[in-house]
Chains A and B, each alone.
Chain A
Amino acid sequence: MKPSEERREQEAEETPAADFFMGIVLMALSTGVGYAAWSWPRPTGMSSAPGLLPFLIALTLFIMSLGVFVTSLKNRGFQRLIRFFHSGDFQKSLAGEDTKLLRFALATVLIYTVFLLNLLPFEVATFIYTAGSLYLFWRAKIYKVLILAASATAFYSIIFKVFFRLTLPGTGI
């Protein structure tokens, strides 16, 4: 079997399980939105009600999610989802190189935006983030990482603060 065919088959296998899950999430979301929109006041009738569009969106979204859900059931989405969690594929995918890199990327960005920029001035937070990320992903020598991180931070600070006169995120604002 050619690699492209293998990949296609693999994708075809993975999608119904994800669709099964997503179908349920979207149906729950649209039900909640529809219920909230229906319960809002209608000062001059349904035609101008603030909940009119959200209700119509929720209704049509529910129908579409149902479509995705039913199609996934036909393609054995539920069984595939169960098999995915029980056969060790889930653990394998968590331990995979791609997932590990994604986790690193998510964690570094999360730390930067939620913690560093809330606790430190932009320049310090950005230097720590870029140095850390470059060290994790680039894996070059530490002095190269530090020089690049410091240069990038200085560049951003000068360009955006001095030239564009923007207020930068961070506690230095």
Chain B
Amino acid sequence: MESLWIALREGCTFNMLFFALITIVLGIVWGAMPGVSTVMAMALLVGLTVKMSPYEAIMVLMAIMVASMQGGSIPAVLINIPGKATAIPTAIEGYPLTQKGEGGLALGTTIVSSFIGNWIGIIALILLVPLIMAIAMKIGSWELSLIALWGIAICGTLTEKEKPIKGWISGWLGLLIATVGVDPIHGWHRFTFNQPELVDGVGYIPIIIGLFGLTEVFRALSSPTVITEAKPVGRIIPKFSMVRKHFGTILRSGFIGLVIGALPAAGANIASFLSYIAAKQRAKGEERERFGKGSYSGLIAAEVADNACIGGDVLPTLTLGIPGSTGMAILLGALNFHAVRVGPAMETHHPGLLYFFYISLIIVNILTCVVALAMIKPAVKVLTLKKEILMPLIVPLCAIGAFGINESVFELYTMLAIGLVGVALAKMNYPAAPMILGVILGPMIDENLRKAIMIFQGQQASIIDILSRPVGTLMLVIVGFTFYKGIFPRKGRI
């Protein structure tokens, strides 16, 4: 109860609610702009959270994540340009509804569906966190290193489905970057090249801003201009009977979103597509006919799954310290900067922080729903803002974010270098998300793997002894299976 009280005291202050409200407004406007992602918003804000308390940093990052995902539905429904990959099914069903003059109702439906989806995620999170944390307390260094390794491997597989090897390479490059700096056990300088700036390693925040901020700026500025025209929105709030009618779809989509979200980096885009396909397959008669021509069922399925995914994303992040998505990896990076270590012992080291996560999600969800319903009409105007105006204005923000952490020009150059590397990798179809995961999880793998080997040596453990650890062996099998499925996708299909 003491922890809950601490969380409530921190979460329900005027300042905190004000921070949340401002960030939600910014997040919705940001999400409504085609071509800028939720991850980019988080990457830009993460540098600014350095001067905040860990509680404020969590609230701001959760708010920007939820709100910009919500905002992404606006261009999808009104101008057929998904503001984010997750909104593609929303565009498929939402835009035809706009053409029929039901754009406002379609947008209102996405907002209400997102609200319900978030609640599904929050409730599941509250119920499942204690259970997973109890299991996680029994996990040793060996298992932790394997879980972290699997996180990077599965992220590589899921972000580059055609050639998972490219996703893995990206993750491995991140791991390599993570090894730069003083070795935590013997104090040996690794890859520092006698540069004092590299002794503490390469900071994740300039890397995050470089990969998701600067790279996106370069890509957006070098792509052709899209001329957009927003349609009038009309009626907004859906009737309760619509929610009741699609209750089965809501439950099914919520479950899909949760499960997919809990897989590292298996982002909301997979969840929204899977859920949309499931809804289409389950639809009968007239409802099935409406798919592709403006189906509320398809719209609800995609949006509920998309948002339930957030709860799923938070679950492995809080319990195991393995980010459930790139956004969560950024959040983890911000928390690491505040010396907050998430994982099974979080409640012992930071009482109240776990409950604060729940409270922040609840506050953000309620505020986002209210603000989004109120902001639909003004947000539509943002759709006409050209990327040629927006992108040059983002670059100083990237510079402020990267520089602000340690007030170091070196971090500014790191951001620039990583941004250039990001452009080159993107041109060759190497995904960026596994690299971030590699950078963040690298120190965890390094320390735990070496600790585990030293413990095994001290105990003179044989291979049989190592394999008799059930969680470790299970993780070894899962890691092996992930690589096998990536290398032999057809042969491995069940």
A-side residues, CB < 8 A to B, are: 15, 18-19, 22, 26, 33, 36-37, 40-41, 43-45, 47-48, 50-54, 57-58, 60-61, 64-65, 67-68, 97-99, 101-102, 104-106, 108-110, 112-114, 117-118, 126, 129-130, 133-134, 137-139, 148, 152-153, 156, 160, 164-169, 173
Whether the pair B416, A110 counts as a contact (CB closer than 8 A) is yes
Name the residue on A nearest B188 (C-beta). A50
CA distance A109 to B217 in the complex (A): 10
Q: Does B337 contact A (CB under 8 A)?
A: no
Taking a contact as CB atoms closer than 8 A, the residue among A45, A152, A165 that contacts B393 in the complex is A152
Given A105-B221, A105-B222, A164-B48, decide whether A43 and B186 contact each other with a Cβ distance below 8 A: yes
Name the residue on B nearest A21 (C-beta). B428
Chain B contact surface mostly: helix
CB distance from A139 to the nearest CB of B (A): 8
CA distance A117 to B388 in the complex (A): 22
CB distance from B150 to the nearest CB of A (A): 14
Whether the pair A65, B169 counts as a contact (CB closer than 8 A) is yes
Q: Does B58 contact A (CB under 8 A)?
A: no
Whether the pair B165, A102 counts as a contact (CB closer than 8 A) is no
23 contacts between A and B (CB under 8 A): A19-B428, A37-B190, A47-B454, A52-B453, A53-B449, A58-B176, A64-B165, A64-B172, A99-B222, A101-B221, A105-B221, A108-B395, A109-B214, A109-B419, A112-B395, A114-B413, A117-B399, A129-B396, A130-B392, A137-B388, A138-B392, A156-B397, A173-B407
Scoring B residues 184 to 204 as 1 if CB is less than 8 Å from chain A, else 0, what string do you get? Answer: 011010110000000000000
Scoring B residues 271 to 307 as 1 if CB is less than 8 Å from chain A, else 0, what string do you get? Answer: 0000000000000000000000000000000000000
A45 contacts which chain B residues (CB < 8 A)? 457
Given A65-B169, A165-B51, decide whether A130 and B446 contact each other with a Cβ distance below 8 A: no
Q: Does B468 contact A (CB under 8 A)?
A: no
Q: Does B20 contact A (CB under 8 A)?
A: no
Whether the pair A113, B399 counts as a contact (CB closer than 8 A) is yes
Whether the pair A167, B404 counts as a contact (CB closer than 8 A) is yes
Given A48-B454, A53-B449, decide whether A61 and B400 contact each other with a Cβ distance below 8 A: no
Name the residue on A nearest B442 (C-beta). A53
Whether the pair B400, A169 counts as a contact (CB closer than 8 A) is yes
CA distance A135 to B442 in the complex (A): 42
Whether the pair B412, A102 counts as a contact (CB closer than 8 A) is no
Q: Does B389 contact A (CB under 8 A)?
A: yes
CB distance from A67 to the nearest CB of B (A): 6
CA distance A64 to B395 in the complex (A): 34
B457 contacts which chain A residues (CB < 8 A)? 45, 47
Given A48-B450, A50-B190, decide whether A166 and B388 contact each other with a Cβ distance below 8 A: no
Q: Does B212 contact A (CB under 8 A)?
A: no
Name the residue on A nearest B395 (C-beta). A109
Name the residue on B nearest A161 (C-beta). B400
**Further 8 A-B residue pairs, CB within 8 A, beyond A106-B218, A117-B399:** A48-B453, A52-B453, A53-B179, A109-B217, A129-B392, A130-B392, A134-B389, A138-B389
Taking a contact as CB atoms closer than 8 A, the residue among A43, A60, A105 that contacts B217 in the complex is A105
Whether the pair B386, A50 counts as a contact (CB closer than 8 A) is no
Given A101-B221, A105-B221, decide whether A48 and B404 contact each other with a Cβ distance below 8 A: no
Which residues of B411-435 have CB atoms within 8 Å of chain A's CB atoms? 412-413, 415-416, 419-420, 423, 427-430
Taking a contact as CB atoms closer than 8 A, the residue among A64, A106, A118, A167 that contacts B407 in the complex is A167
CB distance from A62 to the nearest CB of B (A): 10
Which residues of B443-494 have CB atoms within 8 Å of chain A's CB atoms? 445-446, 449-450, 453-454, 457
